[in-house]
Structure 1
Amino acid sequence: MRWAQEMQAASYRALLVWSRGRTVAAVSGLRWMAPSVNQQHSLQYSVSSQRCSGCKWRYEADRMVKVMARKVEIGFYNTVSGFTLNAARPVTPDLFEEALIHLQKKVEFLQVCLPQRYGRMWIADMDTMPKIDFQVVKDGSLWDLVKNRTKATYNVADGPLWAARLVVCPPEEPCKLPQVKDAFPHQYHLVFNWNHATTDGVGMVSMQQIFFTLLDDMLDVAQVDDKLIGKMRDRNEDRAIEAKIKETLEKDPQRLKVLLEEVSRYKTRVPLITEIFGEPQEPYPDTISLPKQVLDHKLLQVFIAKCKANKVTFNSGFGGLMNAALVELAREAGLERDSYTISSYHSVDTRRYKSDVSSVMWGYHACNMTHTMETPCNIRKSFWKYVVDYDTKFRNHLKTNGPFQDRMLDHMVLAAMPDRKLKATHDFFYVNLYSPRTKSFGSGKHIQQTDYCSCSPLTKTDYGMTNTIVSFRDQVMIQPHISSGFITAANAAKFIDKVIGMFNDISKTSD
């Protein structure tokens, strides 16, 4: 009750700040998200010195870049991904390093740092090139290596804002694809970590594809050039959209008040998944990776065909499937209702809102979006009708610049609560990195990808479970991660098992 009262009061404080004419500072300045004590320390560290006097200044960092940089410094959004690579012949660490140097010269976000210029943070090229953070690690599993790198720190002012670690596996190291190891016996774990302030998931996946091709070409003794791929780009168009939203809301303070109250109420909700399983009493929460679950290839093709027949995206089809699975778990737990409110979080690629996107666009171009659905108790009987509604609401929100408005309202409410307690309000974060139109990579002439995993710390988020759909070679799989303070591994496994079971049933059912 006290939390609800605080959030309601916060919405009025946020509206008061807006109405008193301090909105410009709230929208475009650092005060839009009030920093905690740790964040204040981090911010002082970031602006403590003038650096990079001989480098190329690209553009001033905007509010989102600064926010992401602060979050990374306090251990939030320090994302890591890793691969197991198998080669036909030995690959020396020196060759890996040479490939990384070529990669840095081709990909601009690997060339930049975040120095201060007259007291303001900028995106700038490092003053020395190449400059890479690459080390060979003695041993460790792929997951252990990935998990350890979530604690990595960065020299923000000088760079680099990314790093790579390599493990040369012993001959007896098991391989997830033993049939591949027969022909490609030399095995390596390679892990990348990066500062989220200068790139996003889309950029990271594109960079990894470029690196894999580079390394395979080098092993083929092919000519490798350092020609740039893509271009670093600022968020000017995003800010123009946000300014237009601000202008519209300023003209309708009553609507703004209603929207802020909705956000405040939402931030008091208990996720349905928490109602079902309860909240673990874990004094020291940690991020845990659950086993990846591979979707049956034939059933996947059937499911994709059904999505097309109903004129919905695969993203909406699988999102609706996860909601349906959660409803069935609720009913099995004795939570009988006519419908259930389910809230999922989605990472939106804001490149869709930009003009002249003719090549790879580097930089941070993401916006998290809340998608809340009332899901009927008899969801199986009306599954595809529900998915159509899910898809319609999702698309409409995207078309009307909803993610930007959500972010603005969310920051307004949170800025009015500098001493707020962290609380999970979403049932899960759904990240779809798979598209039926996207060609998978990892099967090279001289090198093969035999395993993959990623991790982003979840213990400081307002969601405690991430379900990522990702393609790996010719497989499509779910990769779940949880915060042990949000849900236990056993209960999260029950949810994933229910998702897989429903996927199989719905794909096999005649509509």
Structure 2
Amino acid sequence: MCAAFVKQYSSGELIHGSSDWRMIRPATPDEISYDTFHKHYARQGIGRFVYNSKKPFGEEEWRKALRHTTNKVEVLRLCLKEKEGNLMLYELQNHDIDFKIIENKSSLEVAEDMKNEGLDLSFWSARVVPAVPGEVYPIPDIKEEFPHQYNFIFKFHHGLWDGGTFQYFFRVFSEILDDILCGKTVNDDIKFGKFQYENPLETKIKEVQQTLESDPLRLDEEKKQMLSLTMKPPILYSAFPVPKGVKATTHHIIRNIDNAHIDTLHKYCKSRKVTVTAGFEAVFNTALVEMVTDAGVVEDGYKINIRQNINMRRYFKVDKDFTKFPLGCFLGGMQQEAFCKKSPREHFWEHAQEVSSNFHSLLKNDGPIIESVVRPLVQGPLDPEMLANGPPQDMSDYAFSNVLDVTRFVFYEGAQVQLTNIIAYNFINNFLHPMLFQFSTFRGFGTLSLSHDTGKVTDETANELMDRIMDVLEYVTRPDSKL
């Protein structure tokens, strides 16, 4: 994350002759990068919330809830717009809400349509897909009391939002929606969240940069390590070559994981001092090695590059006051190399402990910040326009985002409406890794998703990998496991 600007403008300048518009500052390099990708329909995040209500309701209530949330949560009023050839960050007080109710389509079809629609002025868009007859109820126990089901699908600009900001939004939105359905008055004067116009990590980044520059030997070592992590093609390609002539898009495979497996994995990880993140990564690595081995690529060991999505709020002080939660995009990345032996199930927990130890060490020693400083020195400045048209090479075998237990952060049990499921669609095509895994738990059940770039991994290979992952997970969490 960076806050280096090339041209200065006076903050608060109004545009279009309207007091509704307020120019805040030039866009940061990260915001520019995400905006470029979005214009190529890549690196997009779209969330699907499943709501169940006591009574049916329609467009008026949805729009009311969105308008009140926009008035109360600042990030919903922000957009990126060009001025004199430079991308700028603006606030617009009364923008039109991009909202529609869509029928006769699946939620995934609507999400795909939204991905290809772009964003008007880089704000956000929302769609509702009423449940069709026969659609699964996520929590059957409440079906009788809350029989009406709606899929609320929301697309945001990743340059201004991350997972933490997204969770914050739907916590506030869900409460407001329930208040409206209960007939309560919503007070727009009470604001929620604080968008970070200046980068709270800037001082930390400069400190790390100065430390590395004062120690040339260490800096050289960090550069060599970074270079070694980005030179190896993904292990999957050795047995399952990149498909030819296939248009790159993103397909999603979503599997539910029952409580028993989640609880057992937590228990086994805790007893071995392994993070759950490392436990899942060991499962992914084991499945990958088994797949390529079964396909005839047999080696004494396998190197796997993992790209971990990191919430960078961990590196600065976050106000405990819920109304002051820092909003914006604080999504960092950290590259980690894992070595997996052949016959990986036999060495599963040994491997998981190595992954966990390395992960802890990197986090503790500012790994994501060091990478943000060193990577540009190794690769040179990355041109977002070039990357958005297809990166020159993949830089990791896969990325992983462990969202943990969303139940702790959101409002889900209202008097008139309940939030019963949360699903993320991560569009990763034309980016730096062929696959992204995401795991989360909500209201007692787990969801593991695999998003894969169809220009790099076929549907057949991705489904085979997911089947293998579920098999490995069941194997390492069986009650009599003595691994």
Query: Same fold judged by TM-score > 0.5?
Result: yes
Q: How does 1:292-303 map to 2 (within 5 A)?
A: 292-303=254-265
Question: Which residue identity does 2:242 align to in structure 1?
Answer: E
Question: Cα distance, 1:115 vs. partner?
Answer: 4.8
Correspondence 1:395 to 2:364: no
Alignment partner for residue 462 of structure 2, among 473, 484, 492? Answer: 492
Correspondence 1:373 to 2:352: no
Counterpart of 1:175 in 2: which secondary structure? coil
Question: Cα distance, 1:258 vs. partner?
Answer: 4.3
Question: Cα distance, 1:462 vs. partner?
Answer: 1.2
Q: How does 1:61-100 map to 2 (within 5 A)?
A: 61-100=27-66
Does the Cα contact within 8 Å between 1:50 and 1:117 map onto a contact in 2?
A: no
Does the Cα contact within 8 Å between 1:313 and 1:391 map onto a contact in 2?
A: yes
Counterpart of 2:401 in 1: which secondary structure? strand
Change beyond 3 A, Cα 1:242–1:315: same
Question: Cα distance, 1:340 vs. partner?
Answer: 0.9
Change beyond 3 A, Cα 1:405–1:77: same
Does the Cα contact within 8 Å between 1:263 and 1:410 map onto a contact in 2?
A: yes
Alignment partner for residue 124 of structure 2, among 139, 162, 171? Answer: 162
Change beyond 3 A, Cα 1:184–1:397: same
Counterpart of 2:309 in 1: which secondary structure? strand
Change beyond 3 A, Cα 1:265–1:301: closer
Does the Cα contact within 8 Å between 2:313 and 2:330 map onto a contact in 1?
A: yes
Alignment partner for residue 430 of structure 1, among 360, 381, 400? Answer: 400
Question: Cα distance, 1:440 vs. partner?
Answer: 6.7
Change beyond 3 A, Cα 1:412–1:448: same
Correspondence 1:112 to 2:78: yes
Correspondence 1:184 to 2:146: yes
Alpha-carbon deviations, 1:425-483, whole Å to 9, x = none?
32111111123983676454322445543323222111111111022432102111111
Alignment partner for residue 341 of structure 1, among 280, 298, 303? Answer: 303
Counterpart of 2:405 in 1: which secondary structure? coil
Gaps of 5+ in 1: 1-26, 32-48
Change beyond 3 A, Cα 1:269–1:50: farther
Question: Which residue identity does 1:90 align to in structure 2?
Answer: P
State the distance in 2 between where 1:104 and 1:186 align: 25
Does the Cα contact within 8 Å between 2:162 and 2:331 map onto a contact in 1?
A: yes
Gaps of 5+ in 2: 7-13
Alignment partner for residue 312 of structure 1, among 254, 271, 274? Answer: 274
State the distance in 1 between where 2:210 and 2:108 align: 47
Question: Cα distance, 1:346 vs. partner?
Answer: 1.4
- The match for 1:447 is 417
- The match for 1:465 is 435
- The match for 1:129 is 94
Does the Cα contact within 8 Å between 1:443 and 1:473 map onto a contact in 2?
A: no
Question: Cα distance, 1:107 vs. partner?
Answer: 1.5
Change beyond 3 A, Cα 1:378–1:112: same
- The match for 1:175 is 136
Correspondence 1:321 to 2:283: yes
Does the Cα contact within 8 Å between 2:307 and 2:334 map onto a contact in 1?
A: yes
Does the Cα contact within 8 Å between 1:135 and 1:164 map onto a contact in 2?
A: yes
Correspondence 1:241 to 2:213: no
RMSD across aligned positions (CA): 3.0
Does the Cα contact within 8 Å between 1:87 and 1:185 map onto a contact in 2?
A: yes
Counterpart of 1:80 in 2: which secondary structure? strand
Does the Cα contact within 8 Å between 1:85 and 1:449 map onto a contact in 2?
A: yes
Does the Cα contact within 8 Å between 1:143 and 1:453 map onto a contact in 2?
A: no
Question: Cα distance, 1:246 vs. partner?
Answer: 2.4
Q: How does 1:241-320 map to 2 (within 5 A)?
A: 241-290=204-253, 292-320=254-282
Counterpart of 1:456 in 2: which secondary structure? strand
Identity of aligned residues (%): 21
Question: Cα distance, 1:183 vs. partner?
Answer: 4.1
Change beyond 3 A, Cα 1:300–1:181: same
State the distance in 2 between where 1:376 and 1:51 align: 62
Alpha-carbon deviations, 1:10-49, whole Å to 9, x = none?
xxxxxxxxxxxxxxxxx86589xxxxxxxxxxxxxxxxx9
Question: Which residue identity does 2:403 align to in structure 1?
Answer: L
Between the two proteins, the alignment pairs up a number of residues equal to 463
Question: Cα distance, 1:371 vs. partner?
Answer: 1.6
Alpha-carbon deviations, 1:62-83, whole Å to 9, x = none?
3222322232223222221123
Does the Cα contact within 8 Å between 2:15 and 2:23 map onto a contact in 1?
A: no
Does the Cα contact within 8 Å between 1:59 and 1:122 map onto a contact in 2?
A: yes
Alpha-carbon deviations, 1:406-434, whole Å to 9, x = none?
13332334436767853223211111112
Question: Which residue identity does 1:250 align to in structure 2?
Answer: E
Counterpart of 2:38 in 1: which secondary structure? helix
Question: Which residue identity does 1:324 align to in structure 2?
Answer: T
Question: Cα distance, 1:57 vs. partner?
Answer: 5.0
Question: Cα distance, 1:498 vs. partner?
Answer: 1.7
Alpha-carbon deviations, 1:360-404, whole Å to 9, x = none?
210111112112111222433332232222112112111221112
Question: Which residue identity does 1:222 align to in structure 2?
Answer: K
Counterpart of 1:434 in 2: which secondary structure? strand
- The match for 2:473 is 503
Question: Cα distance, 1:150 vs. partner?
Answer: 1.1
- The match for 2:177 is 215
Question: Which residue identity does 2:482 align to in structure 1?
Answer: S
Correspondence 1:147 to 2:135: no
Does the Cα contact within 8 Å between 1:101 and 1:130 map onto a contact in 2?
A: no
Counterpart of 1:425 in 2: which secondary structure? coil
- The match for 1:332 is 294
State the distance in 2 between where 1:379 and 1:318 align: 14
Question: Which residue identity does 1:207 align to in structure 2?
Answer: F
Does the Cα contact within 8 Å between 2:49 and 2:152 map onto a contact in 1?
A: yes
Counterpart of 1:302 in 2: which secondary structure? helix
- The match for 2:374 is 409
Correspondence 1:231 to 2:197: no
Correspondence 1:364 to 2:329: yes
Counterpart of 1:487 in 2: which secondary structure? coil
State the distance in 1 between where 2:309 and 2:70 align: 26
- The match for 1:45 is none
Could you tell which deviates more after superposition, 414-423 or 339-348?
Answer: 414-423
Question: Which residue identity does 1:175 align to in structure 2?
Answer: V
Change beyond 3 A, Cα 1:283–1:302: closer
